[in-house]
Amino acid sequence: MNWVILALISAFFYGAYNFFIKLTSDSTHQILGAVILQASALSVGLVILFYLWRQNETFPVTSKGVSFAILAGITAGLAEIVSFYVFSQGISASRGIPVIIGGSVVAGSLLGLLFLRESIGFRELLGVALVVGGIWMLTGAEKTGI
């Protein structure tokens, strides 16, 4: 399947994920909500892993891969907890989700540039700059002086 289609499907799931965090944050403690979310994600992963194992799928693994997966899990858990706190403050989904997702685009791009030595062309730079501008507009930067 084309990577763009897969990326858009992933984006939909990330958007829905943040939407459900928003709905949960009004009625569940932030840490408890994050733990329930993570347990649910683990359950889905285990079901799929078990299914693939039953299909005789092989699972190559390295210590480097495990280390990065653990770091990804730690940062995902922290992102979830902070997202619950953001939405518990009454921030609307139409403001909070674009700032969180857009901010992750900017952070991921910077990490790729700094640590992976990836190059960035004019179109990519313009895209990231537009995301930064959108974040600025959504956060009411004119009120905070940012």
Tens of pLDDT along 91-113?
999 999 999 999 999 999 999 99
Query: What is the arithmetic mean of pLDDT over 121-133?
Result: 95
pTM above 0.85, yes or no: no
The Cα-based distances of 96 to 2, 3, 73, 93 in angstroms read 29, 27, 22, 5
Residue 61 Rama label (left phi>0; alpha psi -120 to 50; beta): beta
Query: Token pair for residue 101?
Result: 């997702």
φ, ψ for residue 26 (rounded to 5)?
A: -80, -15
Q: Where are the domains of the chain?
A: 1-90, 92-146
Tens of pLDDT along 9-63?
999 999 999 999 999 998 999 999 999 999 999 999 999 999 999 999 999 999 9
